[in-house]
Amino acid sequence: MRHGIRTDVDWSLVGAELAQADDEKQAEFLKAFVKECGTWGTRVQVEYQLAAVNEKLTLEEREVLKMIGYTEG
């Protein structure tokens, strides 16, 4: 990370907080995540990382998250 988080993070707590936030805050978080991923060098690096994350999710978790990438048409 460019700036880094300098303390241990309870990712379960972060996820719970994000889930309870409104759509504006959730979108703000995801936009910052995508922007940070863009600093890694190439889009392929980002795709490999997200593919690795995808493998660690259950089918149900992927089902819940699929609307994030939904495009009408």
Q: Is the pLDDT of residue 1 over 60?
A: no
What are the pLDDT digits (tens) for 8-36?
889 999 999 999 999 999 999 999 999 99
- Evaluate whether 21 touches 12 at the Cβ level (below 8 Å): no
Give Cβ neighbours of residue 36 (< 8 Å, ≥ 6 apart).
1, 2
Q: What pTM was computed for the model?
A: 0.82
Q: Is the pLDDT of residue 62 over 90?
A: yes
Average pLDDT value for the chain: 92
The pLDDT confidence band at residue 4, using thresholds 50, 70 and 90, is: low
What type of residue is 28? E
